[in-house]
């Protein structure tokens, strides 16, 4: 009957299985964190009034799993190693194992130096391998917690809706009221008509363009004041995308020489009028109300129109589009020299109105030697294509726009459009195959079912143009009626825009205009006291030291692009989702970098797999040792006590060495120990010999008894014979 107890084999096997379960728990815990956002330092757990960082808690849980796996595997290895050591001792020759060797074998799992005693391990390489593995297994518990790390995650690109300007809508326009509706009749050119076709079926109406919406005006002013593109709402704080779309572009350039001389003379004529001689404009922008078609004189495009009343002049500027043909055009003239000549004493003796000596005023104020020089620009609107790249890094906006495919001809604006009457039932009777929409140019000769999307774009473009032109139209000049000191009279918003940083308008700086006139300013009072003492007047006012190097015409074009792109910042100027022109989603690349947990599972299982696999092999070796030994052992005092009581030493232990204190006496190291198996074999042999001798003795006794019986029998027979013979 087997004498193997079940507990030790069960503990060895269970330790491996339990270690595997803890490894699985470690894996699933890290897998649940993989790809999730790593908590910040401020993220905490609160338990029993104590605060625990989420990051520290997750790290502690992973370390705990690694510790439990290590504990289970080491426990299983230590039990298997004990079985292997005792099996090795049992297999030793009859001489037994020296005490020194047993010390090395039994302490190898707890004393790393024991592995250096090569004389012990040369004859026991398997035990050496098991001991080395027992020391290497804990490395897995160091590697596996580190498989969970913090990485940077960049979100993939996605198709998302992004802000786009609703050019194919009426969002950019002010309210367009209707005028004079007219009766509609169907076209009978391609079919046979009857009397019913000439009956009134409904009405269409003419609607008047009334300029840009207030939102467009507000955004144009904000962009011009800031100079850059307004903040546009992005899908994410770190994202980028590209758009290519048709949009308006402003083209500015110098007027031709003949027209420039006519404008200069017109401005000078206005200034030479007695009441204007001290208020000559330094900046002038206008949009002529009448544009010259072929027989019309150039005078209708000048900034001032002379009236018949005392030779006075009125401004020739109109922002409306009620003219034929309509065009998107405005002019800018800078005449800073003319304004500078109007000194503070000009009302008594103006040099402009009463020059001394023969002076060519045009050359003086507008010629190449004028300081600052004069500039006259012409700007008009064109169709173009925008290539815009939007990039956001931590919420900071960067927009790069390239304008291409600019049409050679300026855009023609529209003053009226023709469309359906409100709630019209037009084209919805049995005579029409299907209902249709109608939206067309006022001059269109197309069929009544035309819907001109280009017209929607044109209306939106001219709304942006008008809002931009409103910032510039007007003049900047001295206020001749200002009673005390000096003041500016302006009906243009150009002073409030970034355009004043252009070289042509740098004279509009707060002090440049007055200083060129020789006026004394409080800001100039900065006396220097004797002894180098600093005056309290020093540093009262900062002055602008530098201006932009971008010329005015280029700055106007760039500012117009910025105004157009800035319209994306207003949600009301974007497409409605119900619109048939609602744009498709755009491919948005997210450069959003967030800290996330990264868990490469193969690294954890590489470490745990090797550790668990090696442990399983060692446990199998221990189980084999148990089977061969026909006994199992455990790390208990009673086990060691019984082993020592049943052991046989090759010599006697001195009385003074029985206390077990370190160090081990030298003579004891060399003593051989034989355990129960060796003695049991000898006992078996002695018992066999004893049994054999007993059998031999028994047989001899039987033989002697038999021989003795025969002799007795023979003797008795002889005696009987002798007795009988007597």
Q: What are phi and psi of 527, to 5 degrees?
A: -65, 155
Question: What's the farthest any 2 CA atoms get from each other in the chain?
Answer: 212
Give the model's confidence band at 433: pLDDT under 50 very low, under 70 low, under 90 confident, else very high.
low
**Cα–Cα distance between 717 and 723 in angstroms, integer?**
9
**Cα–Cα distance between 282 and 308 in angstroms, integer?**
26
Write down the H helix ranges in 579-636.
601-629
* CB count in 10 Å sphere of residue 210: 16
CA atoms within 13 A on the CB side of 703: 6
Residue 650 has pLDDT above 90, yes or no: no
Average pLDDT over residues 177-193: 55
Mention every residue, 6+ apart, whose C-beta is less than 8 A from residue 591: 154, 238, 239, 240, 393
For 252, 334, 337, 517, the CA distances from 367, given in Å and listed in that order, are: 21, 12, 10, 19
Average pLDDT over residues 285-312: 66
**Hunting for tokens 């005449």 — which residue is that?**
335
pLDDT for the residue 690: 62
Greater pLDDT, 36 or 245: 245
Is 511 exposed, middle or buried (CB count within 10 Å of its CB: 0-12, 13-18, 19+)? middle
Greater pLDDT, 332 or 324: 332
pLDDT for the residue 66: 92
pLDDT for the residue 201: 42
pLDDT for the residue 229: 95
pLDDT for the residue 543: 67
pLDDT in tens, 686-705: 555 665 555 555 555 555 55
Write down the H helix ranges in 517-593.
552-566
Identify the three-state secondary structure at position 448.
coil
Residue 668 CA, chain-centre distance (Å), reads 73
Percent above pLDDT 90 for the chain: 28
pLDDT for the residue 447: 57
For 134, 136, 452, 522, 664, the CA distances from 112, given in Å and listed in that order, are: 10, 11, 91, 90, 19
**Cα–Cα distance between 1 and 8 in angstroms, integer?**
18
Of 375-379, 412-416, 516-520, highest mean pLDDT: 375-379
Radius of gyration over every alpha carbon of the chain, rounded to an integer in angstroms: 55
Lowest-pLDDT range, 229-243, 579-593, 691-705? 691-705
Lowest-pLDDT range, 99-103, 105-109, 413-417? 99-103
Bridge partners of 587, per DSSP, are: 159
Give the model's confidence band at 640: pLDDT under 50 very low, under 70 low, under 90 confident, else very high.
low
Residue 196 has pLDDT above 80, yes or no: no
Lowest-pLDDT range, 214-228, 297-311, 498-512? 297-311
pLDDT in tens, 51-103: 778 888 888 899 999 999 999 998 888 888 888 777 776 666 456 677 666 77
For 167, 390, 717, the CA distances from 582, given in Å and listed in that order, are: 11, 20, 144
**Cα–Cα distance between 344 and 536 in angstroms, integer?**
29
Average pLDDT over residues 247-276: 87
- Are 28 and 20 spatial neighbours (Cβ–Cβ below 8 Å)? no
Identify the three-state secondary structure at position 357.
coil
Q: What is the mean pLDDT of the chain?
A: 76
Q: Which residues of 306-329 are buried (b: 16+ CB within 10 A; e: fewer)?
A: eeeeeeebebbbeeebeeeebbbb
Find, among 551, 563, 248, the residue nearest to 399 by Cα. Answer: 563
pLDDT for the residue 269: 83
Residue 325 has pLDDT above 90, yes or no: no
Greater pLDDT, 398 or 105: 398
Give the model's confidence band at 684: pLDDT under 50 very low, under 70 low, under 90 confident, else very high.
low
pTM equals 0.65
Average pLDDT over residues 293-321: 63
Percent above pLDDT 70 for the chain: 65
Find, among 199, 84, 209, 154, the residue nearest to 461 by Cα. Answer: 209
For the chain, how many residues are written? 726
pLDDT for the residue 423: 59
pLDDT for the residue 699: 55
* CB count in 10 Å sphere of residue 141: 22
Average pLDDT over residues 211-237: 94
Residue 299 has pLDDT above 70, yes or no: yes
Average pLDDT over residues 565-570: 96
pLDDT in tens, 269-296: 888 776 677 677 889 999 887 554 544 5
Residue 450 has pLDDT above 90, yes or no: no
Lowest-pLDDT range, 51-65, 196-210, 229-243, 591-605? 196-210
Pairing of strands 158-160, 283-286: unpaired
Greater pLDDT, 505 or 110: 505
Average pLDDT over residues 242-255: 96
Per residue, what are the HEC states of 183-203? ECCCCCCCCCCCHHHHCCCCE
**Hunting for tokens 């908590």 — which residue is that?**
39
**Cα–Cα distance between 6 and 8 in angstroms, integer?**
6
> How many degrees, rounded to 5, is the angle at CA 12 between CA 9 and CA 14?
105
Greater pLDDT, 99 or 403: 403
Find, among 253, 246, 268, the residue nearest to 367 by Cα. Answer: 268
Average pLDDT over residues 543-559: 84
Give the model's confidence band at 646: pLDDT under 50 very low, under 70 low, under 90 confident, else very high.
low
Average pLDDT over residues 371-383: 88
Lowest-pLDDT range, 361-375, 513-527, 566-580, 677-691? 677-691
Lowest-pLDDT range, 3-12, 284-293, 310-319, 474-483? 310-319
């Amino acid at each position: 009957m087997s004498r193997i107890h079940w507990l030790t084999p069960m503990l060895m096997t269970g330790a491996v299985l339990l270690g595997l379960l803890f490894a699985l728990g470690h894996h699933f815990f890290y897998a649940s964190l993989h790809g999730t956002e790593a908590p910040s330092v401020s993220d905490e757990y609160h338990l029993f009034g104590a605060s625990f960082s989420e990051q520290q808690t997750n790290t502690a849980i992973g370390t705990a799993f690694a510790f439990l796996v290590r504990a289970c595997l080491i426990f299983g290895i230590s039990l298997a190693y004990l079985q292997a050591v005792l099996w090795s001792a049992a297999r030793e020759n009859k001489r037994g194992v020296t005490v020194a060797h047993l010390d090395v074998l039994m302490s190898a799992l707890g004393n790393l130096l024991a592995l250096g005693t090569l004389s012990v391990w040369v004859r026991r390489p398997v035990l050496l391998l098991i001991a080395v593995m027992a020391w290497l297994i804990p490395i897995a518990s160091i590697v596996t917690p580190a498989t969970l790390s913090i990485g940077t995650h960049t979100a993939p690109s996605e198709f998302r809706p992004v802000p786009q300007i609703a050019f194919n809508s009426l969002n950019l326009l002010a309210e367009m009221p209707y005028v004079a509706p007219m009766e509609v009749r169907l076209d009978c050119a391609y079919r046979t008509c009857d009397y019913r076709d000439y009956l009134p079926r409904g009405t269409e109406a003419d609607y008047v363009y009334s300029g840009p919406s207030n939102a467009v005006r507000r955004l144009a002013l904000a962009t011009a004041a800031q100079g850059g593109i307004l903040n546009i709402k992005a899908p994410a704080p770190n994202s980028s995308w590209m758009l290519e779309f048709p949009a308006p572009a402003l083209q500015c350039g110098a007027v031709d020489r003949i027209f420039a001389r006519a404008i200069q003379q017109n401005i000078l004529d206005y200034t030479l009028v007695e009441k204007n001689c001290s208020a000559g404009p330094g900046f002038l922008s206008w949009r002529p109300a009448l544009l010259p078609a072929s027989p019309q004189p150039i005078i209708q495009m000048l900034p001032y129109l002379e009236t018949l009343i005392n030779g006075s002049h009125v401004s020739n500027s109109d922002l409306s589009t009620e003219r034929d043909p309509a065009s998107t055009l405005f002019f800018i003239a800078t005449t800073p020299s003319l304004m500078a000549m109007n000194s503070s004493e000009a009302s008594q003796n103006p040099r402009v109105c009463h020059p001394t000596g023969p002076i060519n005023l045009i050359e003086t104020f507008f010629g190449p030697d004028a300081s600052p020089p004069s500039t006259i620009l012409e700007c008009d609107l064109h169709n173009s294509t925008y290539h815009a790249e939007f990039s956001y890094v931590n919420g900071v906006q960067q927009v790069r726009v390239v304008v291409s495919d600019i049409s050679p001809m300026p855009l023609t604006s529209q003053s009226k459009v023709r469309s359906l009457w409100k709630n019209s039932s037009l084209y919805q009777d049995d005579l029409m195959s299907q209902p249709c929409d109608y939206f067309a140019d006022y001059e269109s000769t197309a069929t009544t079912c035309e819907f001109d999307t280009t017209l929607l774009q044109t209306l939106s473009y001219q709304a942006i143009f008008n809002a931009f032109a409103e910032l510039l139209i007007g003049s900047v000049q001295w206020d001749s009626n200002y009673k005390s000191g000096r003041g500016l009279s302006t009906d243009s918003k150009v002073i409030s825009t970034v355009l004043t940083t252009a070289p042509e308008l740098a004279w509009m700086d707060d002090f440049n205009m007055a200083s060129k006139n020789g006026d004394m300013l409080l800001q100039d009072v900065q006396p220097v006291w004797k002894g180098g003492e600093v005056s309290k007047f020093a540093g009262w006012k900062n002055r602008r030291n530098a201006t932009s190097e971008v010329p005015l015409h280029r700055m106007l074009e760039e500012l117009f692009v910025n105004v157009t792109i800035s319209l994306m910042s207003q949600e009301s100027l974007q497409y409605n989702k119900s619109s048939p022109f609602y744009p498709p989603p755009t491919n948005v690349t997210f450069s959003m970098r967030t800290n996330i947990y990264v868990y490469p599972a193969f690294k954890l299982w590489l470490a745990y797999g090797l550790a668990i696999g090696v442990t399983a092999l060692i446990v199998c070796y221990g189980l084999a040792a148990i089977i061969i030994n026909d006994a199992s052992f455990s790390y208990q005092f009673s086990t060691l006590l019984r082993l020592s009581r049943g052991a046989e030493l090759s010599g006697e232990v001195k009385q003074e060495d029985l206390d077990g204190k370190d160090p081990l006496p030298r003579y004891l190291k060399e003593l051989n120990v034989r355990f129960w198996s060796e003695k049991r074999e000898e006992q078996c042999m002695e018992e066999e010999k004893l049994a054999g001798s007993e059998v031999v003795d028994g047989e001899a006794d039987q033989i002697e008894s038999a021989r003795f019986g025969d002799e007795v029998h023979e003797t008795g027979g002889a005696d009987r014979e002798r007795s009988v013979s007597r």
